[in-house]
């Protein structure tokens, strides 16, 4: 049976009871998010300091066979690597080259948590408990479990650190390193977190103790220190990226706190002392410090190393602005401001607490609308989105802002194009604002362009999206879709955006001259929502092998086997042009996004309501 017929057969079964019945089938997927690794989940137990005994999420579940048989093409020697100990910095790292990059990728995948992934996990874990009545297998439920990530970020060290030191995973300024647009931040609580948190300094290669262990050669190991051994390397990802921090300190914890306090407990506000508010207040000045005069907020503090995994050890240009990051920050600031506005009504607040809230709201206002903060003037995010970020009917993926080496205040990066800057951008701003700025149906037309170069499907049926315009996706001249790579996470983001457009165009009044056009747009948007939502189900672990995706690993069922039903990150292994590999592995963020979709919860909207 060919791929198209397989899809038709599966969709016929999935559509029984309607698409909404299929979307709400999340119990076994939710179980993945709230179960220990040994029980088919993605949680590990922390052992360090104040987080000892807490359940915390990882980003992925993998297997040695996935890397050995599929990625390394075992018994070929594609992954044969030599790790070297360096007594100058106590590091144990692979030699440069492809085998070393592959080792760091699988080590990070096995042992790491991207703080964006953890933020989506916080929302989904709380949401599933509050709205779906779902419980966990680790004792803690809902927001109690989700709050463990707030504690980890506050402590700022590895969850399984042998000698935990508070703040070692926060990007405090030191010398010329981690300068926030020239400003220093020395208090760990106010500095960005690194985007990827490892469990410990020395991390185990998935090949350790398996038949693939012979691919690893370690040399110059220190005598008398058994912690350094073949099959272990030190953690390598130390990048404080702004977008991940916007999710980790704003969107994830604040949306979760709002769900718990205001929806579950029926409180009028989130308490000022809640860790979600305290962590966000502490790090807010870092976002402000990185805002450029034209309004875009820089990608990262200065002198961030691109790292060995990228194949380059040169510093990141401190004047880079990434649009996806800025849309995340914009949405997070709006959610934060809404929460602070209600918390301010708490009559029991002390004067210094009220002052802290008012000051934070003033900072947020400048970030959003422009003005002067910290003695520096900025046009604000909204001005930046309207006047710099839009190009040729869509949002650019990024550019350089106020770089003294450039002749213009804004130099956009036009290639490659990124899907999420448009799907997240329209959702974060709201299609009404996009249409007001750039003409009626501008948001719809931007989506049509994305489908033309980034849509994934079979025949003329849209299944979802990939990551960029160089993924091998998009439409042929006859309207049929190509099959490069499909991303579960980014497809979920596209569904979320389509839903926001549906809500917008449904509200166009009958007396509007655009009413007739809006009804036509709705027909296509509703079909896109339905076809993507149904196709997304094929990337659930227990259904993936039933569809012959191009690039699917041979005998995948033997490579990854869990009792839960998470969603895979992607349909195939694929290098994303923005700097990392997608893998068809059970994914925390992809599964969390599906929980949000099942509950019609838009993470970019205040209280989950589309903008």
Chain segment 379-436, per-residue pLDDT in tens:
999 999 999 999 999 999 999 999 999 999 999 999 999 999 999 999 999 999 999 9
pLDDT at 3 over 80: no
Quick one: average pLDDT of 243-266? Answer: 98
Quick one: average pLDDT of 476-494? Answer: 98
Q: What pLDDT does 126 receive?
A: 98
Question: In Å, what is the CA distance from 469 to each residue of 168, 360, 450, 453?
Answer: 38, 39, 8, 5
Nearest partner of 462 among 445, 483, 441, 440, judged by Cα = 483
pLDDT at 18 over 90: no
If one counts every other C-beta atom within 10 angstroms of the C-beta of residue 92, the result is 23
Q: What pLDDT does 16 receive?
A: 30
Asked whether residue 260 is domain-assigned, the answer is no
Q: 351 CB contacts (<8 Å, ≥6 apart)?
A: none
Q: What pLDDT does 314 receive?
A: 67
Asked whether residue 369 is domain-assigned, the answer is no
Quick one: average pLDDT of 292-315? Answer: 73
84 neighbors 96 (Cβ within 8 angstroms): no
452 three-class SS: helix
484 neighbors 466 (Cβ within 8 angstroms): yes
Cα dihedral 127, 423, 111, 175 sign: negative
**How confident is residue 21, by pLDDT bands cut at 50, 70 and 90?**
very low
- Tell me the pLDDT tens digit for each residue of 153-165: 999 999 999 999 9
Distance separating alpha carbons of residues 344 and 272, to the nearest angstrom? 8
DSSP 494-512: HHHHHHHHHHHHHTS-TTS
Q: What pLDDT does 6 receive?
A: 39
Q: What pLDDT does 579 receive?
A: 86
Distance separating alpha carbons of residues 3 and 10, to the nearest angstrom? 11
Asked whether residue 24 is domain-assigned, the answer is yes
- Tell me the pLDDT tens digit for each residue of 53-74: 999 999 999 999 999 999 998 8
Residue 565 in tokens: 């039903």
Q: What pLDDT does 310 receive?
A: 41
Distance separating alpha carbons of residues 260 and 256, to the nearest angstrom? 6
**Residue for token pair 């007594």:** 87
Asked whether residue 146 is domain-assigned, the answer is no
Quick one: average pLDDT of 238-246? Answer: 95
Asked whether residue 585 is domain-assigned, the answer is yes
- Tell me the pLDDT tens digit for each residue of 570-588: 999 999 999 889 999 999 9
**How confident is residue 4, by pLDDT bands cut at 50, 70 and 90?**
very low
Alpha helices in 483-587 (DSSP H): 488-506, 515-536, 541-544, 556-559
**Residue for token pair 């953690």:** 235
Using a pLDDT cut of 90, give the percent of the chain over it.
89
Nearest partner of 101 among 74, 73, 68, 78, judged by Cα = 78
DSSP one-letter code for 298: P
Quick one: average pLDDT of 68-95? Answer: 92
pLDDT at 12 over 70: no
What range defines the domain where residue 578 resides?
A: 1-33+427-611
Say how many domains are in the chain. Answer: 1
Between 6 and 558, residue with greater pLDDT: 558
Q: What pLDDT does 305 receive?
A: 60
Asked whether residue 26 is domain-assigned, the answer is yes
Q: What pLDDT does 24 receive?
A: 54
pLDDT at 15 over 90: no
Average pLDDT score, the chain: 93
Asked whether residue 217 is domain-assigned, the answer is no
Lowest mean pLDDT among 1-10, 137-146, 252-261, 375-384: 1-10
Q: What pLDDT does 195 receive?
A: 96
């Amino acid at each position: 049976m060919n791929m198209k017929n397989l899809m038709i057969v599966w969709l016929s079964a999935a559509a029984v009871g309607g698409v909404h019945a299929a979307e709400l089938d999340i119990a076994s997927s939710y179980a993945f998010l709230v179960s220990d690794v040994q029980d088919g989940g993605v949680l590990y137990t922390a052992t360090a300091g104040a987080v000892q005994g807490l359940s915390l999420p990882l980003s992925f579940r993998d297997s040695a066979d996935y890397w050995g048989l599929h990625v390394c093409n075992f018994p070929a020697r594609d992954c044969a690597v030599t790790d070297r100990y360096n007594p100058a910095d106590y590091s144990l790292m692979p030699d440069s080259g492809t085998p070393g990059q592959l080792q760091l990728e699988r080590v990070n995948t096995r042992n790491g948590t991207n703080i964006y992934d953890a933020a989506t996990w916080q929302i989904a874990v709380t949401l599933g408990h509050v709205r779906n009545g779902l419980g966990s297998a680790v004792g803690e439920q809902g927001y109690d479990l989700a709050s463990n990530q707030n504690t980890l970020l506050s402590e700022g060290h590895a969850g399984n650190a042998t000698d935990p030191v508070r703040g070692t995973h926060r990007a405090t300024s030191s010398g010329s390193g981690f300068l926030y647009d020239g400003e220093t931040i020395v208090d760990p609580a106010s500095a960005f977190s690194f985007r990827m948190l490892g469990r410990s300094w020395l991390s185990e290669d998935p090949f350790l103790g398996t038949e693939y262990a012979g691919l690893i050669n370690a040399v110059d190991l220190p005598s008398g220190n058994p912690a350094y051994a073949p099959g272990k390397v030190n953690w390598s990802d130390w990048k404080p990226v702004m977008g991940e921090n916007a999710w980790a300190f704003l969107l994830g914890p604040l949306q979760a706190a709002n769900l718990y306090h205001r929806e579950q407990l029926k409180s009028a506000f989130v308490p000022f002392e809640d860790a979600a508010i305290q962590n966000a207040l502490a790090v807010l000045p870092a976002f402000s410090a990185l805002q450029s005069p034209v309004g875009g907020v820089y990608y990262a503090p200065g002198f961030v190393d691109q790292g060995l995994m990228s194949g380059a050890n040169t510093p990141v240009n401190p004047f880079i602005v990434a649009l996806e990051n800025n849309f995340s920050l914009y949405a997070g600031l709006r959610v934060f401001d809404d929460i602070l506005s209600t918390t301010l009504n708490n009559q029991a607040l002390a004067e210094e607490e009220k002052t802290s809230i008012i000051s934070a709201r003033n900072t947020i206002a400048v970030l959003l609308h422009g003005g002067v903060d910290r003695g520096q003037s900025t046009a604000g995010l909204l001005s930046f989105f309207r006047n710099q970020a839009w190009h040729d009917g869509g949002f650019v993926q990024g550019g350089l802002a106020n770089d003294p080496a450039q002749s213009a205040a804004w130099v956009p990066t036009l290639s490659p194009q990124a899907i999420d800057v448009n799907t997240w951008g329209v959702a974060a701003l709201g299609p009404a604002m996009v249409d007001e700025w750039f003409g009626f149906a501008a948001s719809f037309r931007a989506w049509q362009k994305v489908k033309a170069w980034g849509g994934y499907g079979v025949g003329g049926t849209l299944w979802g999206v990939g990551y960029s315009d160089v993924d091998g996706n998009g439409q042929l001249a006859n309207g049929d879709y190509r099959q490069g790579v499909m991303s579960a996470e980014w497809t979920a983001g596209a569904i979320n955006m389509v839903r926001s457009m549906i809500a917008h165009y449904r509200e166009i009044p009958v007396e509007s001259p655009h009413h007739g056009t809006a009804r036509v747009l709705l027909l296509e948007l509703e079909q896109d929502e339905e076809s993507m939502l149904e196709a997304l189900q094929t990337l659930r672990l227990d259904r993936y092998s039933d569809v012959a995706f191009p690039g699917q690993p041979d005998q995948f069922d033997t490579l990854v086997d869990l009792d839960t039903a998470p969603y895979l990150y992607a349909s195939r292994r694929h290098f994303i042009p923005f700097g990392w590999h997608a893998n068809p592995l059970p994914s925390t963020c992809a599964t969390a996004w599906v929980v949000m979709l099942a509950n019609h919860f838009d993470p970019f909207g205040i209280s989950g309501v589309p903008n």
